[in-house]
Structure 1
Amino acid sequence: MSRFTFADLFAGIGGTRAAYEAVGGECVFSCEIDEDAQEVYERNWGEPITEDDIRNVDADIVPPHDLLLACWPCPSFSRMGKLDGLKDERGMLFYHIVQILKEKQPKAFMLENVKNLRFVKDGTAYETVRGALEECGYTVFDEVLNALDFGLPQHRERLIVVGFRDDIAPDEESFSVPTENRAKLETEADQRKALTDILENSSDVDERYYASEKVQSDRRESVNDASTIPKPSVWHENRAGRVTARPYCGTLRASSSWHYMLVNGKRNPTVRELLRLQGFPEWFNIDDSNRSRARRLTGNTVPVPMVHTVAKALMSELDLDGTSANIQGTGTAALD
């Protein structure tokens, strides 16, 4: 087996990179337009982003690579957005991925987007996406995955699209995108234990993370007998104002009401907890002086253990190097 290379498009802070480096990959090209994400990426990975705007990237400048990885912007397909699909400027960025695939012809690719991509415009948006990928010469597999099934106490569903170049593609019967790993959180006890492992000691949490007494009181009044709710729990307020306490976190969002998610109905997750909820290793750091910035960046990244499990399946199918690097997360979020 040989070591493999990958291109990291729409790199964000590097969640996809973390997963693929953990199975022996080497990043040879990265692209990210957000300046805050660039700063975090460059500081943690020790190298600059190669290019900032995918719209200015000519395929000729992208080095040869074995795998193309891209988590292109999701607002065009999210139920939280306008559902403009591929007609939206951000949705159309998908075609820059297509152009690079056509010209560079890597062995395989992995794309990520919101679950709702399958349903936008009565499913025609995803049919267009899949058709364009197949026209590039790839056999396509897809699956909706949930971070809960990969050891993270976060309900986060994402569509993973994997493609193999047709000349080396497996049969549909012999390959499937993995839907869980050994750390799957099947029971409430599993979920609460994983949440406990991720949360910092309350004595270590700065007061600025706590909601006002008015907000905390409103939350207590919105649930049935707050004193009986087991700890730890995460209290979620949906857009209709309904509050639900769960033994896991809901989907981390880049933007939302500030107190939509409170630990034990009292405080926001810390920046370290947000990183742990996405499965990042403890050495990975985001400055917590601007919590809005940190929340946006962590809400826009991927669950690392989920992508890592997909990466291992790809490496096995392609007979590429599966040597794991030491980027373990914390508790049940550790990569297996």
Structure 2
Amino acid sequence: MTWATAVDLFAGAGGFTAGATRAGVRVLWAANHWQEAVQVHADNHPETEHSCQDLHQADWSRVPAHDILLASPACQGHSRARGIDRPHHDATRSTAWAVVSCTEHHEPNVVVVENVVDFLRWQLYPIWRQALEALGYQVAPHIIDAADHGVPQHRRRVYIVCTRTRSPLMLSMAPREHVAAESFIRFDAGNWSPIEKPGRAAATKARIHSGRQRFGDRFVMPYYSSGSGRTGRAISRPIGTITTVDRWGVVDGERTRMLTASESRDAMGFAADYRLPANHRDATKMLGNAVCPPVVTDLLTEVRRAA
């Protein structure tokens, strides 16, 4: 079974490609529908051929033959964090079928699909899985927290490993030591503002007050969502999930700010020299949608060992 080459569908900022490269895999081709993301991927992986296209309409005969298919289809239609279904969700869910059509054409040795855990609850997931099984693959979902692979962020995602083996390849990966959020927060950077400034929301002040009582002068807190939303989170542990919009604020004494794009990059496990778009909103969106490279490296290394 060969492991030398891969393609990356829905490649985004390039987390799958970065992780695969660290595992010794050469990514031949990468595609995404967003030109800005394609440009960022190309800036960081110039040796890879790039395509900006809607993969619903892909001509797979134009994609290089490969050993490993990597894919991170749109997650918005599956994530409960988005609340009640919206009309565009059916379209985003259907991106997963591009994986099946590419697999049917190229028959790679391994297919790895990343998505939110709720992907497994998709009404059509059993049929999607059966389609891959009909093509001769054993399908093994693995729910992985990026923090267990040295990423300074708790980020639970499903990695579905599909192989041409006799039975599903259930991987056993020893967890790495957790890395604290303080490893990437730079208190001498960013745009700080006083906590006690005109217009600061009472709810924000209440969260800060609660966080101070638990963690002291320095901590992080989300500006929306549940979990640590009311109390914040100690910087001595991994941060919570990095999302596609600004979520995490840093508190330092009497001042506060949101995470910078470079801090979010580090929290995702990208290399410190990984280039991001100059626009903060674009960078945040790409990182929130990205795959954590260290998880991919560990997973592909273990797949190679176990297969």
Scaled by the length of structure 1, the TM-score of the pair is 0.79
Judging changes above 3 Å, is the alpha-carbon distance between structure 1 residues 220 and 87 closer, same or farther for their aligned structure 2 residues?
closer
Name 1:19's counterpart in structure 2. 19
Q: CA deviation at 1:8?
A: 0.7
Match of 1:264 among 235, 251, 257: 251
Paired residue secondary structure (2:124): helix
Q: Distance in 2 between matches of 1:34 and 1:212?
A: 40
8 A Cα contact 1:254 1:299, kept in partner: yes
Judging changes above 3 Å, is the alpha-carbon distance between structure 1 residues 212 and 133 closer, same or farther for their aligned structure 2 residues?
farther
Paired residue secondary structure (1:99): helix
Gaps of 5+ in 2: none
Name 1:61's counterpart in structure 2. 62
Deviations 1:219-238 (A, max 9, x none): 34234362552464221243
**Corresponding position: 1:177 with 2:204:** no
Q: CA deviation at 1:139?
A: 0.4
Judging changes above 3 Å, is the alpha-carbon distance between structure 1 residues 50 and 242 closer, same or farther for their aligned structure 2 residues?
closer
Paired residue secondary structure (1:144): strand
Q: Distance in 2 between matches of 1:129 and 1:209?
A: 49
8 A Cα contact 2:68 2:111, kept in partner: yes
Judging changes above 3 Å, is the alpha-carbon distance between structure 1 residues 290 and 211 closer, same or farther for their aligned structure 2 residues?
farther
8 A Cα contact 1:19 1:305, kept in partner: yes
Paired residue secondary structure (1:46): coil
Deviations 1:272-309 (A, max 9, x none): 1111111001120214x421111101101011111211
Q: CA deviation at 1:87?
A: 7.5
Judging changes above 3 Å, is the alpha-carbon distance between structure 1 residues 311 and 232 closer, same or farther for their aligned structure 2 residues?
farther
Judging changes above 3 Å, is the alpha-carbon distance between structure 1 residues 142 and 84 closer, same or farther for their aligned structure 2 residues?
farther
Deviations 1:180-199 (A, max 9, x none): 5323x2xxxxx5xx212111
Q: Distance in 1 between matches of 2:70 and 2:194?
A: 37
Match of 1:88 among 87, 90, 106: 90
Q: What percent of counterpart residues are identical?
A: 24
Pairs aligned (count) = 296
Q: CA deviation at 1:208?
A: 6.2
Name 1:98's counterpart in structure 2. 100
Scaled by the length of structure 2, the TM-score of the pair is 0.86
8 A Cα contact 2:152 2:269, kept in partner: no
Gaps of 5+ in 1: 186-190, 319-336
8 A Cα contact 1:6 1:68, kept in partner: yes
Deviations 1:201-232 (A, max 9, x none): x22x1326888834487434234362552464
AA matched with 1:206: G
Deviations 1:230-271 (A, max 9, x none): 46422124347942311332211113xx4x321127211111
Name 1:145's counterpart in structure 2. 144
Name 1:326's counterpart in structure 2. none
Deviations 1:128-158 (A, max 9, x none): 2211211121001111111121122222111
Q: Distance in 2 between matches of 1:89 and 1:67?
A: 26
Q: CA deviation at 1:316?
A: 1.6
Q: Distance in 2 between matches of 1:307 and 1:212?
A: 43
Q: Distance in 2 between matches of 1:87 and 1:217?
A: 34
Match of 1:107 among 106, 109, 127: 109
Matches within 5 A, 1:289-328: 289-318=278-307
Matches within 5 A, 1:173-252: 175-178=169-172, 180-183=174-177, 185=178, 191=179, 194-200=180-186, 202-203=187-188, 205-207=189-191, 213=197, 214-215=199-200, 218-222=203-207, 223-224=209-210, 226-230=212-216, 232-239=218-225, 242-247=229-234, 248-252=238-242
